[in-house]
Structure 1
Amino acid sequence: METMIFDTALGAFGIGWTEAGVARLQLPGLAPDALVARINRDGAAPGDPSRAIAAVIDRIEDYAEGERVDFADVPLDLGAVSDFNRRCYALLLEIGWGATTSYGALARQLGDVGLSRAVGAAMGANPVPLIIPCHRVLASDGKAGGFSAPGGAESKRRMLALEGVEPGVPAGQLGFGF
């Protein structure tokens, strides 16, 4: 796996890719040395991105600037991901910019609301956050809930704010500030 670290308006991201596609993405928030160690774990090493990976990096930079970006067509390498998690991620890729869902809603789509905790675990194990938009999954009360990226739920709220979403605010009231 090849990797690269790049700066955005949100901070430094790390990306890892194979010939099949993006295999890993590290969100901003780690110290520089920790970011390098995390993105280059398991034998990964810095490389030069192909045109396709460079285009993904450009989209991430645009997202960080607040531009509406869709990552649903980005080639991914999810070979090390369990079938259950892949099914969760496939559903999540249908949740577009500025939209949200809940852990329970995804579990119902998977056939059993009892899978909510398993959905949460899948979100926490997401190897390519942002591209697979786990930040768009909220708790049942509409609040941010957890987030395994550096900065936790605050990072999730910041990403959602770029998309015009304020977790915990009833629909239709965002513009009025209630």
Structure 2
Amino acid sequence: MRALAAATPHCLVDTAIGAIGLAWSEAGITCLQLPGPDRAATERRLAASGSPPAEPPEEVARAIAMLERYCRGERVDFSSLPLDLSGVGAFDRAVYEAAREVRWGQTVSYGEIARRIGAPEAARAVGRALGRNPVAIVVPCHRILASGGRIGGFSAFGGARAKQRLLALEGVHPGHGTPPIPGLLAD
């Protein structure tokens, strides 16, 4: 996750997979922080930049309602949510736009995203860009897999296990042993 601008307000939302943090600007959502080991850790991560907690405006409240449904396993299309990716470079932005086109229950490889953005040799760079994704779930980096359908990496707390659980919410089970979902990392 990139650093938040000092004036970027944030809120914490309790969901079926744990506390998720959202930060926003007037232009759109700037950050979606997936659950940490506990609610306090997620709050600390958001507050570390000095961003103040705030009551979410209407558009962010709509995003929260969508996230709550998604975390309960309901099919949600986040493509209409406005994002503020003004601090993101052109390559990363192209990767995020291509990733946003991967719909619920679908997966593609890092190499496929590289091809879609016209950089077929850049699969590793795509993986690094997704590791910096400031708005996970809304930009569904969890739907992007390594070659051969392997789970690949995931930079959020819980790593590949958290990625498997997000995919399981959508009925996708790459590999084997994907556990049930009471919390993102609960056993």
TM-score, normalization: structure 2? 0.87
2:72 alignment partner AA: E
Contact 1:26 1:39 in 2 (8 A): yes
- Unpaired stretches in structure 1, ≥5 consecutive residues: 170-178
Counterpart pick for 1:80 among 87, 95, 112: 87
Deviation at 1:108, TM superposition (A): 1.2
- Unpaired stretches in structure 2, ≥5 consecutive residues: 1-7, 177-187
Deviation at 1:37, TM superposition (A): 1.8
Deviation at 1:168, TM superposition (A): 3.4
Deviation at 1:30, TM superposition (A): 3.0
CA RMSD of aligned residues (A): 1.2
Q: Distance in 1 between matches of 2:131 and 2:169?
A: 21
Name the structure 2 match of 1:103. Answer: 110
1:2 alignment partner AA: P
Contact 1:100 1:138 in 2 (8 A): yes
Q: Distance in 1 between matches of 2:73 and 2:112?
A: 27
How many residues align? The count is 169
Alignment of 1:130-141 (within 5 A): 130-141=137-148
TM-score, normalization: structure 1? 0.91
Whether 2:17 is the aligned partner of 1:10: answer: yes
Q: Distance in 1 between matches of 2:42 and 2:35?
A: 8
Name the structure 1 match of 2:155. Answer: 148
SS at match of 1:34: helix
Q: Distance in 2 between matches of 1:149 and 1:143?
A: 17
SS at match of 1:127: coil
1:64 alignment partner AA: C
Q: Distance in 2 between matches of 1:108 and 1:102?
A: 10
Q: Distance in 1 between matches of 2:91 and 2:37?
A: 29
| Deviation by residue 1:77-108 (Cα, 9 ceiling, x = unmatched) | 10111110000011111111001110000111
Q: Distance in 2 between matches of 1:3 and 1:56?
A: 13
| Deviation by residue 1:37-83 (Cα, 9 ceiling, x = unmatched) | 21123221100101110010010000010000010110001011111
Q: Distance in 1 between matches of 2:150 and 2:62?
A: 33
Whether 2:100 is the aligned partner of 1:93: answer: yes
Name the structure 2 match of 1:21. Answer: 28
Name the structure 1 match of 2:165. Answer: 158
2:64 alignment partner AA: I
SS at match of 1:61: helix
Deviation at 1:111, TM superposition (A): 2.0
Whether 2:81 is the aligned partner of 1:62: answer: no
